[in-house]
A and B are shown apart, each in its own frame.
Chain A
């Protein structure tokens, strides 16, 4: 996805002189062509994410379109207040593009993990949150949203789904329809979900935009009132959006995602998937147990 990010942005920079890219000393080599071609429109800011974020909002104030980029914890959690005040409160548009979703950088340890990014950004009024599952999906979503009126967060993973869906900003995809439950898969959580439920009589909805949340598609596809929410970030992050769409009365929600704890082991992301149950077998068991329960 990171390579696609560079490709997409470089292609847009050639056509849209409002774009200005600020890098937090990350992906600098990747953007080497942009540095050559558009030196006034791309800057390696260095390792000062708070000032980079405020600075991006300042660029937006002058009518330019900032793209801020670093590793997820640094470009979200470290400068959360700058995103809140300088972008959201001031109603300035811009794009924040992270890399290293949740525990992609498992071996680097918890300082480089970020399963809480979507949960914290969800608290900000006006913030848009995009969780693409493939490079092609990122390309579609970024082109649709980058010049919009709101600040938008693009959560890039080092992992990618094997097959891209034809996605639309702000809209969920209905991938499968069934009667027993509705399974919501977000971004890179889709492959284990599809494998887990392939022969189960359930609906599968695929979300790549989580804010604004497409409550309408969920409403039209939640006949049983049983919802399984499978997220590649902290489990349960989007529960409030489900309740807002469906009301609280006749809904049962099962949440599957990253547990609310520091993942202190190292290794590979796939080993963490196993350990926390984000695998086809573990998801299948949770879904079937939930469907059977009354």
Chain B
């Protein structure tokens, strides 16, 4: 993962913009998803016959761009233009600009109900493919997430999997209590994994239930892999200074 993490850090240097720690929190999940689970062809990424991934916490965009770039959706080197005026790659992803991005997200609480619609649409159209949505734990403060949770369970959307990036960034604001229990109470099949263990991620993503949606509560560390960023709120939305950069790149060597 470190080469991708270095790309992510480097991408933030052009405009000093970016949510690096949020990207590191979900990078392992997205990498496993796109390399071992999801069925989507970078050369024909709008085919009807594809799995969908929706990054509901759009501020994790750098992780998605890095993984898509590595998979060949676009040249990874383009990330150097991240957030510059003419760039395709913004702080939050735009599905009309970036190949492979399925939803324009950024305002929290939209991606899961959007994914419920996609999953229902696939069922109506009799397309046997899966929909994956990744939400943040603080995003689970939004009422629309729980509206979507009710809807997905009521309509038995077995083709829908939600991954909760449980990096505890919500804890300073609003406690979520027993997260797995809440999803189960809403009618979902719920599991918990270590969100940085690739085998656990792959196993969890490959499983589903025949009659209800699945949620994977992924225990993650915000800023994972870079000690000074890990669980450090100061790193939620900033890029390295010129002095910090070589030290961070060395740690990620």
Interface, chain A (partner B; CB < 8 A): 20, 40-41, 43, 45-46, 48, 50-64, 66, 81-82, 85-86, 89-91
Question: Quick check: A48 and B124 within 8 Å, CB to CB?
Answer: no
Question: Quick check: B125 and A62 within 8 Å, CB to CB?
Answer: yes
With known contacts A50-B147, A90-B103, A58–B114 Cβ distance under 8 A: yes
Cross-chain contact of A55 among B95, B116, B125 (Cβ < 8 A): B116
With known contacts A48-B151, A85-B107, A90-B104, A58–B120 Cβ distance under 8 A: yes
Question: Quick check: A57 and B117 within 8 Å, CB to CB?
Answer: yes
Bound CA–CA A50/B95 (angstroms):
21
What B residues does A60 contact at CB under 8 A? 117
Bound CA–CA A55/B119 (angstroms):
9
What A residues does B155 contact at CB under 8 A? 43
Question: Quick check: B118 and A45 within 8 Å, CB to CB?
Answer: no
Question: Quick check: B110 and A54 within 8 Å, CB to CB?
Answer: yes
Question: Quick check: B151 and A59 within 8 Å, CB to CB?
Answer: no
Chain A binding surface, main DSSP class: helix
What A residues does B119 contact at CB under 8 A? 58
Question: Quick check: B118 and A86 within 8 Å, CB to CB?
Answer: no
Name B109's closest neighbour in chain A (CB-CB): A50
What A residues does B113 contact at CB under 8 A? 50-55, 58, 82
A-B contact count (CB 8 A): 99
Question: Quick check: B124 and A55 within 8 Å, CB to CB?
Answer: no
With known contacts A59-B121, A81-B107, A48–B116 Cβ distance under 8 A: no
Question: Quick check: B110 and A86 within 8 Å, CB to CB?
Answer: yes
What B residues does A62 contact at CB under 8 A? 48, 117-118, 121-122, 124-125, 127
Can you list 12 pairs linking A and B with CB atoms under 8 Å apart? A20-B124, A50-B144, A51-B116, A51-B147, A52-B113, A58-B114, A58-B116, A63-B121, A63-B125, A81-B107, A85-B110, A90-B104
Interface size counted on chain B using CB atoms at 8 A: 32
What B residues does A48 contact at CB under 8 A? 144, 147, 150-151
**B44, CB-defined interface residue at 8 Å:** no
**B115, CB-defined interface residue at 8 Å:** yes
Name B115's closest neighbour in chain A (CB-CB): A58
Bound CA–CA A63/B118 (angstroms):
10
With known contacts A51-B144, A90-B103, A90-B104, A40–B124 Cβ distance under 8 A: yes
With known contacts A61-B114, A61-B121, A62-B125, A89–B144 Cβ distance under 8 A: no
Question: Quick check: B117 and A89 within 8 Å, CB to CB?
Answer: no
**B96, CB-defined interface residue at 8 Å:** yes
Name A58's closest neighbour in chain B (CB-CB): B117
Chain B CB count within 10 A is highest, among A50, A51, A90, A91, for A51
Name A20's closest neighbour in chain B (CB-CB): B124
CB distance from A64 to the nearest CB of B (A): 5
CB distance from B29 to the nearest CB of A (A): 21
**B143, CB-defined interface residue at 8 Å:** yes
Name B56's closest neighbour in chain A (CB-CB): A54
Bound CA–CA A86/B104 (angstroms):
8
CB distance from A46 to the nearest CB of B (A): 7
CB distance from A58 to the nearest CB of B (A): 2
Cross-chain contact of B117 among A55, A81, A85 (Cβ < 8 A): A55
Beta-carbon contacts of B116-137 to A below 8 Å, as 1s and 0s?
A: 1111111011010000000000
Bound CA–CA A62/B106 (angstroms):
21
What A residues does B103 contact at CB under 8 A? 61, 90
